Amino acid sequence: MTVREQLQQIRRELAPAGVKLVAVSKAQPLATIREAYDAGQRAFGESRPQALRERVAQLPDDVEWHFIGHLQTNKVKLVVGPAHTIHSGDSLPLLRALNDEAGRRQHRQRCLLQVHIAREPTKFGFLPDALRRLSAEGFFTTLPYLQIAGLMGMATFTDDLTQIRSEFRSLRRLFDEMKQQAFSDHSAFSELSMGMSNDYGVAVEEGSTMVRIGTLLFTH
Ligand SMILES: *Cc1c(COP(=O)(O)O)cnc(C)c1O
Q: Indicate the domain borders of the chain.
A: 3-218
First to last CA, the chain: 7
The arithmetic mean of pLDDT across residues 159-171, rounded, is: 97
- Check if 69 has its Cβ closer than 6 Å to any atom of ligand 1: yes
213 Cα to the center of ligand 1, angstroms: 6
Q: Which helix (H) or strand (E) holds 5?
A: helix 3-14
100 Cα to the center of ligand 1, angstroms: 28
Verdict on whether the full-model pTM lies above 0.85? yes
Residue 185 has pLDDT above 90, yes or no: no
Higher pLDDT, 181 or 104: 104
Spatial CB neighbours of 32, under 8 Å, sequence gap ≥ 6 = 3, 25, 218
Q: Render pLDDT for 3-41 as a digit per residue (tens, 0 to 9).
A: 999 999 999 999 999 999 999 999 899 999 999 999 999
CATH number of 3-218: 3.20.20.10
Q: Cα separation of 118 and 108, whole Å?
A: 30
Residue to probe by mutation, ligand 1, list 47, 65, 168, 191, most atoms within 8 Å of CB: 47
